[in-house]
Amino acid sequence: MTTRLQCATFSIVAADVEAGLWGVAVASKFVAVGALVPWAKAKVGAIATQAWANISFGPRGLELLSQGFSSEEVLDKLLRDDDMREHRQVGIVDYLGRVAAWTGSQCIAWAGHVIGENYVALGNILRGPEVVEAMAKAFETTKGDIVDKLLAALEAGDNAGGDRRGKQSAAILVVKEGGGYGGYTDRYVDLRVDDHPDPVKELKRIFRIWDLTLLTREDPSDVVKLEDVAEKLQLALSKLGYYKEAINGKLTEETLKALEDWMLINNFENKMRKDGYIWGSVYRYLLDLAGLH
């Protein structure tokens, strides 16, 4: 007996071949959608399998992509002998950024997809075509790397109505060769919100912490000179229990030690600097934690 999983979902599958990034972002009124829909492997490609989801399309599709088949060829092979293909929805991007997509005629309305350069936005049981259209526009117009674009697309789809049954889970998976923690895997970003009343918003909140903690990407112009914000640093670190001395607005050794302790305790060693500056993203996060704006 085959179990049928109705993943009413909106997702986006994309690649930035030049940067070596492939990924999927997805949301649904379905528990733990990130455990089922998104699949990706660095220098191979990415896949979203949904609707009456055949989860085997994920690992089987990646294996075919790794053998050098194009996204179109892989899609054809996956669907060819599938007697449920009219109930399937699939998006694929290969190692060259070529895209293929399928929305079966029996997918529950509204269902469809939009293909753009190096990406496809797709969904079923949606409020309407405006969901995938909003996702496509957001992906194309958002600045930043593929992670920023995927998250923006997911948020745009959510704001446009998303899954017409409601909200429950969301996920983002982006792979890059050696991009995982310590360089041991390709899991550059791998985050899931399995059950939440506002999963896309929660996914963005978690990603902010992931970005601060694990990713090395930063805008080189977004830095703050420590001497210029010594008093705010002391206030924030004092409120958080790291700074015990007088608040005098001077960049003392005690202030620097308290800042270092806070960064190490919060796993921000990847973002520590020794040049008298702090990354703007880290500084703003510190102020937010301390309730200072």
CA–centroid distance for 186 within its chain? 14
Cα distance between residue 119 and residue 154, in whole Å: 13
Domain around 12: 5-214
Give the pair of three-digit tokens for residue 145: 């790397």
Contact predicate 41/76, CB 8 Å: no
Does residue 29 have a pLDDT over 90?
yes
Residues 148-166 have a mean pLDDT of 96
Q: Are residues 279 and 195 in the same domain?
A: no
Residues 205 and 243 in one domain: no
- Whether residue 237 sits in one domain with residue 179: no
Radius of gyration for the alpha carbons in the chain, expressed in angstroms and rounded: 22
Q: Are residues 205 and 241 in the same domain?
A: no
Question: Do residues 122 and 262 both lie within one domain?
Answer: no
Angle between helical axes of 280-290 and 230-239 (0-180°, round to 10): 50
User: What is the average pLDDT across 225-246?
Assistant: 97
What's the pLDDT at 3?
47
Q: How many Å apart are CA 62 and CA 69, to the nearest integer? A: 10
The residue type found at 144 is G
Query: Is residue 228 located within the same domain as residue 108?
Result: no
Residue 173 sits in the same domain as residue 228 = no
Q: Model confidence at 218, in pLDDT bands (50, 70, 90)?
A: confident
Q: Do 230 and 270 share a structural domain?
A: yes
Asked if residue 75 and residue 16 are part of one domain, the reply reads yes
Which residues share a beta bridge with 184? none
Q: Report the CATH number at residue 23.
A: 3.60.20.10
The stretch 131-157 carries a mean pLDDT of 97
Least Cα distance to 172 among 147, 197, 195 occurs for 147
- Angle between helix axes 146-159 and 199-214 (nearest 10 degrees) is 170
Whole-number average pLDDT of the chain: 95
- Give me the number of domains the chain comprises: 2
| In a shared domain, residues 133 and 165 | yes
Based on the fold, state whether residues 156 and 274 are members of the same structural domain: no
Domain boundary among 189, 214, 239: 214
User: Which of 180, 214, 248 represents a domain boundary (last residue)?
Assistant: 214
> 37 near 26, Cβ under 8 Å?
yes
CA 174 to chain centre: 6
* CB burial of residue 67 (10 Å; 0-12, 13-18, 19+): exposed
pLDDT in tens, 35-84: 999 999 999 999 999 999 999 999 999 999 999 999 999 999 999 999 99
Domain end point (choices 214, 236, 256): 214
Determine the average pLDDT of the residues in 114-141: 97
Residues 105 and 246 in one domain: no
